[in-house]
Amino acid sequence: MTRLNAKAFAIIAALSAIVTTALADTIYPIDRASVIENGRFDFKVEFDKQIKSDDFRILINGKDYARVFGKKGEFIANEDELGASSLVVRDVFLKNAGAYAVEVKALGKTTKVNWSVFAPQKLPKAKNVILFIGDGLSVAHRTGARILSKGVSEGRLNGRLATDDFPYMAFIGTSGTDSIATDSANSMSAYMTGHKSGVNAMGVYVSRAKDSLNHPKQETLGELIRRTSSKSFGIVSDAEIEDATPAAVVSHTRRRADKSAIVGMLYDLKPDVILGGGSAYFLPKSTLGSKRKDEIDYIKKFQDDGYALAIDAATLKKTAPKANRLLGLFHTGNMDGVIDRKILKNDVTKKFPNQPDLTEMTTAALEVLSKNREGFFLMVEGALIDKATHPLDWERAVYDTIAFDKCVEIAKAFAAKNPDTLIIVTGDHTHGISIIGTIDDSKAGDDMREKVGVYADAGFPNYEDKNKDGYPDTPAVSKRLAVFVSNFPDHYETFRPKLDAQFTPAIKNERDQYVANEAYKNVDGAVFREGNLPRSVDTGVHSVDDMIVQATGPGGEAIRGYMDNTELFRVIADALALGNEKR
Ligand SMILES: [Zn+2]
């Protein structure tokens, strides 16, 4: 092609792209979707205007869609009064692996997408899969956890994290259908369904439906396990258990805030182990602390279905050995982090003084799930890494990364006795957090900025772990890490750990804008930092940077190079040979 031709071709291509987008109908699942054989999904076509029920044809590999799916869809002439028609076929599947070309012909135009359907593995590689999600887990969290937990001298670490000897590793891209920047809902949803989704959504494609519970569904890993295997599965998180990451194992909603509905979805699918915070959405409206708008008592419902109930660390320890199904709810909201519970023992944990540690929840979950001879899938989320990094509180985030690492250690000990176990450790997205050196209080003067040591001047921090529990005895040492984030609202930088409670960098003013929280203005040496985020944002935000995934055990060899987040679904399904007919 000559240069001129190439240019002309580019213009024509650009024009035709514009023309097709302007007139395109939308098809769900979207182009390049990958589905397991017989995997369930909702098929939806959104026409760009109102049409009649015989104005269109839908062909899948040249055959009428109703023949391929074995049923006709529901034609909606004017969907949600939006002035456009839709066709929805619920709960369909494709029987044979291969390439599928989907064509929608309506009023003289054609819209096309391609799907690929993959066959399940005939034989499992692993009996159990344990998936660890460090919410927001970035490289700096891992580096910080190594330095604080193990120590560093003459440039070498004095110990390693649990994942540091894992043989398999990859970068993961976390972008969604609507944006390069993801949240925990759609990123976890990609792992749990193998489909892309958008911010705030899980287990569904983001369509134009107005009802958040009426979007085209994608089968979740939890559902696939129930439909095609006799394995157990469990969900553990130190966040509210109906929060995005744990919820994405089972649920379908456009809005992660549908927490009451999500508890209902948890109940419908009944994971064998459910441990975390968030009891407020399990309690009937009339009970103190409830956030439900109805009188359904989900704790009672689970108990009636044979679940043992744990309400604190002691009952968890007592019930787990005997239970086959276990519900543990230890906080009305998110649970409290390690630094407040174990180190500072401040007022934060007064409300729920006997919460179990994430390590104790991991041990209990493994105890219950491993009773099933068919094996299990367990998801453990270290949620507080993210919950602390958002408000720029890196000490809390790193202490919780250490706790998370201890959970991986527990899983490694389990896998040592049960070598048919695949352990995968990753996060759902990253934060713009970085370690650049140290802050040394002994340096002369009052200007905290001059106490920041970089390059040779940074030297090494002086954290101590005298009781050898893996956590520095206090984060408030005289020479500590200098950790900064790339994005923030207006706030006061104090250069010091927050010992009373988690940092609240910004609060709302009367114009609904987030401004620096004056409570930190008079901390010794605090300086004002003008935000670089929109004023509607109250904390630091997720970064688009790659996530790192590591794995050990059978099936882990599929993790390498660069992967899209949707590919992790197949790694898990393949390892457990999910998708075959139930034995
Ligand atoms: Zn987050």
The per-residue pLDDT for range 302-346, each reduced to its tens digit, is 999 999 999 999 999 999 999 999 999 999 999 999 999 999 999
Cα 468 to ligand 1 centroid, rounded to whole Å: 31
The CA-CA-CA angle for residues 395, 398, 401, to 5°, reads 155
User: Residue 255 carries which side chain, given as an amino acid letter?
Assistant: R
Per-residue pLDDT at 581: 86
Per-residue pLDDT at 68: 98
Cα 567 to ligand 1 centroid, rounded to whole Å: 22
Cα 566 to ligand 1 centroid, rounded to whole Å: 19
Question: What is the tens place of the pLDDT at every residue in 392-416?
Answer: 999 999 999 999 999 999 999 999 9
Q: Which protein residues have a CB closer than 5 Å to ligand 1 (ion)? A: 386
Cα 184 to ligand 1 centroid, rounded to whole Å: 6
Question: What is the tens place of the pLDDT at every residue in 28-44?
Answer: 999 999 999 999 999 99
Cα 72 to ligand 1 centroid, rounded to whole Å: 40
Per DSSP (E only), the strands in 413-545 are 421-426, 430-431, 433-440, 452-453, 479-485, 491-493, 506-508, 514-516, 527-529, 542-543
Contact (CB, 8 A) for 115 and 67: no
Cα 92 to ligand 1 centroid, rounded to whole Å: 33
Residue 518 has pLDDT above 80, yes or no: yes
Cα 541 to ligand 1 centroid, rounded to whole Å: 7
Cα 485 to ligand 1 centroid, rounded to whole Å: 14
Strand 232-240, strand 308-310: pairing? unpaired
Topology of the domain covering 23-118:
Immunoglobulin-like (2.60.40)
Average pLDDT score over the chain: 95
Q: What is the mean pLDDT of residues 516-527?
A: 96
The pLDDT-based confidence of 349 (bands split at 50, 70, 90) is confident
Cα 386 to ligand 1 centroid, rounded to whole Å: 5
Question: What is the tens place of the pLDDT at every residue in 102-121?
Answer: 999 999 999 999 999 999 99
Structure tokens at 198: 């958008």
User: Residue 193 carries which side chain, given as an amino acid letter?
Assistant: T
3-state class of 582 per DSSP? coil
User: SS in 3 state form for 92-147?
Assistant: ECCCCCEEEEEEEEECCEEEEEEEEEECCCCCCCCCEEEEEEECCCCHHHHHHHHH
Cα 519 to ligand 1 centroid, rounded to whole Å: 24
- pTM for this model (two decimals): 0.95
Per-residue pLDDT at 441: 97
Cα 428 to ligand 1 centroid, rounded to whole Å: 9
Cα 478 to ligand 1 centroid, rounded to whole Å: 30
Contact (CB, 8 A) for 208 and 202: no
Other CB atoms within a 10 A radius of the CB of residue 426 amount to: 25
Per-residue pLDDT at 364: 98
Question: What is the tens place of the pLDDT at every residue in 239-258?
Answer: 999 999 999 999 999 999 99
Contact (CB, 8 A) for 36 and 78: no
User: SS in 3 state form for 260-324?
Assistant: HHHHHHHHHHCCCEEEEECHHHCCCCCCCCCCCCCCCCHHHHHHHCCCEEECCHHHHHHHCCCCC
Cα 54 to ligand 1 centroid, rounded to whole Å: 46
The pLDDT-based confidence of 582 (bands split at 50, 70, 90) is confident
The pLDDT-based confidence of 3 (bands split at 50, 70, 90) is very low
Percentage of the residues of the chain whose pLDDT score is greater than 90: 94
Q: Rounded distance, CA 399 to CA 385, Å?
A: 8
Q: What is the mean pLDDT of residues 177-205?
A: 97
Cα 416 to ligand 1 centroid, rounded to whole Å: 33
Cα 20 to ligand 1 centroid, rounded to whole Å: 36
Q: Rounded distance, CA 128 to CA 371, Å?
A: 12
Residue 153 has pLDDT above 50, yes or no: yes
Question: What is the tens place of the pLDDT at every residue in 455-494?
Answer: 999 999 999 999 999 999 999 999 999 999 999 999 999 9
Topology of the domain covering 131-429+542-576:
Alkaline Phosphatase, subunit A (3.40.720)
Cα 408 to ligand 1 centroid, rounded to whole Å: 21
* Domain definitions of the chain by residue range: 23-118, 131-429+542-576
Cα 85 to ligand 1 centroid, rounded to whole Å: 36
Contact (CB, 8 A) for 236 and 403: no
